[in-house]
Amino acid sequence: MKKELLAEVEGRYVRSCCSIPKYGIVTLQIYRIDSQEIRFENHCPPERLPERFAEGVEEGVYYFASEHGIQGIQVELLDGGWHESDSHKRDFMFAAILALFKVFPQKNEVQEEK
């Protein structure tokens, strides 16, 4: 399988001004692959990001790809930042989505009425 590096990006979902603090940071490498699949690989050591949070990253990758019709990519989780009391699995899902938006920006196309 051939793969071409598209980007290395960081996604940060950090909120301290709400009643439930949120803290999730991820570093991802995104590759174009010669397949229509969406692949996810976790290369982050568990002491840097526990498995329960890496699962949130994976969920975010698959959700983003399905919602935006993206195929043929491999996303590799390289690093993460978390906080014992402020981090939750969902924070890492959002962090992954924010990172992917940097590579695949949302299209704001206005369609003409016929």
Single-letter code of the amino acid located at 20: I
Position 21 scores a pLDDT of 84
Output the pTM of the full model: 0.88
- What is the token pair recorded at 19? 């009643």
In a 13 Å sphere around the CA of 47, the CA atoms on its Cβ side amount to 0
Q: Are 37 and 62 in contact (CB under 8 A)?
A: no
What is the per-residue pLDDT across 92-110, written as a single tens digit (0 to 9) for each?
A: 999 999 999 999 987 544 4
Position 85 scores a pLDDT of 85
Count CB atoms within 10 A of the CB of residue 22. Answer: 18
Q: Are 50 and 82 in contact (CB under 8 A)?
A: yes
